[in-house]
Amino acid sequence: MTASQTESKANPAGVVLTDVAAQKVKALIEQEGRDDLRLRVAVQPGGCSGLRYQLFFDERSLDGDAVTGYDGFEVVVDRMSVPYLTGATIDFADRIDAQGFTIDNPNASGSCACGDSFH
């Protein structure tokens, strides 16, 4: 387990945001200058392997959303995505060889060569 994962917080839907990812999300929301945005994590059909992750800021509340409060923001997962995301860890990389949010999902049995989708 990396240092960024040692103090992660579990979402009722089973998604874990590392401290590094949580800090990045909070900074991005503050940059938007709004206090009504939440990080929505979803799984949608698409990509070469069948399913694609979506992470975006959303002000909506949908029926059946699993919501977890973090320091200064909330993470929401829609009820259809919960089974695909239980146990997944979201991290943020800012290195020369990788930058952006990454998702380590134990439910994915494989992914495409480009890493954009899973099955």
In a domain, 70, yes or no: yes
Instruction: Give me the pLDDT at residue 108, please.
Output: 74
pLDDT at position 26 over 90: yes
In a domain, 93, yes or no: yes
Assign residue 41 the CATH number of its domain. 2.60.300.12
Per residue in 46-58, pLDDT tens? Answer: 766 678 889 999 9
Q: Which burial class, exposed, middle or buried, applies to 43 when counting CB atoms under 10 A from its CB (0-12, 13-18, 19+)?
A: buried
Q: Based on the structure, what is the number of domains in the chain?
A: 1
Positive or negative CA dihedral for 86, 5, 41, 111?
negative
Per residue in 45-92, pLDDT tens? Answer: 876 667 888 999 999 989 999 988 888 899 999 999 998 888 899 999
β-bridge partners, 43: 53
In a domain, 2, yes or no: no
